[in-house]
Structure 1
Amino acid sequence: MSAPIVHGGGITEAAARFGGRFEDWLDLSTGINPRPVALPSVPQQAWHRLPDKLTIDSARAAAASYYSTNGVQPLPVPGTQAVIQLLPRLVPAGRRVAVFGPTYGEYTRVLMAAGFAVDRVERAEELGPDHGLAVVVNPNNPTGRTFQPEDILAMAAVMKANGGVLVVDEAFGDLQPDLSVAGHVGANDNLVVFRSFGKFFGLAGLRLGFVVANDAVLDAFREWLGPWAVSGPALVISRALMSGETETIAAGILERRAGLDAVLDGAGLKCIGGTGLFVLVEHADAGALHRHLCEAQILTRKFDYDARWLRIGLAPDAESDQRLADVLGRWNALREGDVARPGDVARPGEC
């Protein structure tokens, strides 16, 4: 088994290394709504009993409407990561896998650990007859790269002609519903769409996602996961929130993103990508900047495959924006005596 990937959210580990109470840290290492929505009322029965068919079907119907699936009933799963672990079972024996990268590293790690050769690709033209499975994250994590639906469907057509499956991870798609291909699954039986519930609603700890696919794929995932894979409370909460008003949630996220943009712009940092829930920053001394922020009890996400990158998530409020701005201001002040190197900073307005 390959080494585990270090993901964002490791506040307790960071506190143990750099000091301070973990409660006092500002976690900007994840791509999650920093203002979790208020939880709806959950009846005692949902805690007391195993989830029944009505509870499951109600959550699936709400997800079908929320994700605009054109009648396909999404399968609730215990987080997207749970079904990523099962992806090797969808790859025909002896075939290679294509992953549009750089992207969320668990896809390559899991597939390689299962013995499959994985090709990192950047363009649809790189998909070939050897590929039994292709994975594209849209919008992408961490770069924010996007493909239009027609481009995704063209990829699915290529994969189908080669007897392969296309998996589209739309974990960060809630703020860009026009990019989704969930509504095209019914007409494309080799298309599988993953959706994440926790990021947009700020409830990552609920461990809930949905798979949109044809009946055969959904039946396979259901069998592999086993009965009662998702808790009754998670199903009740998702049904209520996906059936409710979400424009205010989206507006709140975009307001927080604007706050982050203003801070990074003011610090002269070079923003090279992102989504509504995070920004990707490029800096020649990203490792040193990451450490400087950690020493101020602010956690960001660095990458072992590109030492120039930091992913910075949204702060919960303007006070936290100012905290980040102050720490970045001290960073710039400490560097004023250094000789600037090309690419170190960007001009204000480039975020």
Structure 2
Amino acid sequence: MTSAALAALKVHGGRVDLAALAYPDAPRPWIDLSTGINPVPYPIPPLPPECFSRLPLAAELDQLCAAAAAAYGLPRGAVLLPAPGSEIAIRLAPRVLAAHGVKVGILTPTYSSHAAAWRAAGAQVHELAALPDARAGLAALVIVNPNNPDGRAFDAAALSAFAQRWCAAGKQLVVDEAFADVRPKLSLLHEPALPRGVVVLRSLGKFFGLAGLRLGFVAVDARDAGPWRDLLGDWAASGPACAIATRALRDDSWITTTGRRLAADRLRLDATLATAGLTACGGTDLFGLYEDRDGRDLVDAFARAGILIRGFSHSPQRYRFGLPVDEAAWRRLAQACAMLITAPTASEAAV
């Protein structure tokens, strides 16, 4: 296992193919706990063949957006636009908001693609630990709510009031709500109004476990929608994505049952990892952030057991764990934790 290969596993979650190459002797099948994606996805219904053979109809796209508005909420005067994954929306936001040369604040630590996207667009990125004053010399601000990886959250009413002040000063605000499905009351889309200059991003892939569908949504005031429509184009969602997502977003029973299961599994995850000496220090019901004060490289330790987790180069003592998919995966996680207890810590190994 080279240091370069180990570092590559700490850039993004979901790189189970790289992990398998780097650890050829690890047990199979690999268990991927490195993302915050629901491991039990929404069941794919039978799809009509024509959704693969023709472009989505305008009525189908309208039905998709209506289902999303009913599920997420939608302030008066705002619109929801489908996007081929919220990652694309993150990359487009700086270009829509004319980022070149401007100063943008990003509440950190958070999902690294936001800073990468703004830097690629020529912006000056300033990492912030708290909400700035509206008089700060920033043209834009990015907030992930609830935050990835630590679960930091802002109350919707308080954040809405901040957005009003911020945008009244001629500034722009991007709020990434990719994980808000498990904490819907945090969403700005439940507020009465969405100020001009606010962009809210939603992701279908996390809660519904359909990351491969590549579908997200951009919510903006209708008067701000033109540039987004121009960049996203006429068919930002595929026919299969429209059919599956419309049904999933309308399935209130599955949504309620899944929310309860995820909450219970998160508590189980905390308890399981506590047996290995890990301390919970944040997260959401889709993932947990844990601290290991013994100085062990847990990405390496769990990978040797065929389990991929998410490490962070900027916080080497902290690790993000997603949820196991079934009882077999829970047992293997518990076994890996038991083996970790008997392994020497970094200080003991150095003696």
TM-score, scaled relative to structure 2 = 0.90
CA distance in 1, matches of 2:335, 2:27: 20
2:224 is matched with which residue: 205, 217, 220?
217
Relative to structure 1, the CA distance from residue 295 to residue 190 in structure 2 (aligned partners, 3 Å threshold; closer, same or farther) is same
Shift in Å at residue 214 of structure 1? 1.1
Relative to structure 1, the CA distance from residue 299 to residue 151 in structure 2 (aligned partners, 3 Å threshold; closer, same or farther) is same
Relative to structure 1, the CA distance from residue 130 to residue 93 in structure 2 (aligned partners, 3 Å threshold; closer, same or farther) is farther
CA distance in 1, matches of 2:153, 2:67: 26
Any unmatched runs of 5+ in structure 2? 1-7
Other-structure match for 2:94: 88
Amino acid of the residue matched to residue 78 of structure 1?
P
2:120 is matched with which residue: 104, 113, 126?
113
Bigger mean CA offset, 144-153 vs 124-133: 124-133
Q: Does 1:11 align with 2:16?
A: yes
Amino acid of the residue matched to residue 109 of structure 2?
P
CA distance in 2, matches of 1:185, 1:163: 21
Shift in Å at residue 230 of structure 1? 1.3
Q: Does 1:104 align with 2:111?
A: yes
Bigger mean CA offset, 316-325 vs 97-106: 316-325
SS in 1 for 2:44: coil
Relative to structure 1, the CA distance from residue 229 to residue 337 in structure 2 (aligned partners, 3 Å threshold; closer, same or farther) is closer
CA distance in 2, matches of 1:68, 1:76: 15
Shift in Å at residue 131 of structure 1? 1.3
Any unmatched runs of 5+ in structure 1? 341-351
Other-structure match for 1:40: 45
SS in 1 for 2:82: strand
2:248 is matched with which residue: 230, 241, 249?
241
SS in 1 for 2:199: strand
Q: Does 1:263 align with 2:272?
A: yes
Q: Does 1:318 align with 2:324?
A: no
CA distance in 1, matches of 2:192, 2:228: 16
Shift in Å at residue 285 of structure 1? 4.9
Bigger mean CA offset, 135-144 vs 183-192: 183-192
Amino acid of the residue matched to residue 197 of structure 1?
L
TM-score, scaled relative to structure 1 = 0.90
| CA shift digits 1:63-108 (9 cap, x unpaired) | 0100011454411100111011112220465431010111000111
CA distance in 2, matches of 1:309, 1:184: 34
% identical aligned pairs: 38
CA distance in 2, matches of 1:23, 1:325: 16
For residues 1-351 of structure 1, what are the structure 2 equivalents within 5 Å?
Answer: 6-20=11-25, 24-70=29-75, 72-89=78-95, 90-91=97-98, 94-126=101-133, 128-184=135-191, 186-245=193-252, 246-285=255-294, 288-335=297-344
Report the number of matched residues: 338
Answer yes or no: is the 8 Å Cα contact 1:290–1:302 preserved in 2.
yes
SS in 1 for 2:150: coil
| CA shift digits 1:172-215 (9 cap, x unpaired) | 00011111111337441222110000110111000100111112
Answer yes or no: is the 8 Å Cα contact 1:95–1:130 preserved in 2.
no
SS in 1 for 2:226: helix
Alpha carbon RMSD of aligned pairs, Å? 2.3
CA distance in 2, matches of 1:336, 1:12: 28
Answer yes or no: is the 8 Å Cα contact 2:281–2:291 preserved in 1.
yes
CA distance in 1, matches of 2:43, 2:61: 22
Relative to structure 1, the CA distance from residue 9 to residue 207 in structure 2 (aligned partners, 3 Å threshold; closer, same or farther) is same
| CA shift digits 1:287-314 (9 cap, x unpaired) | 5222111011100001121111110110
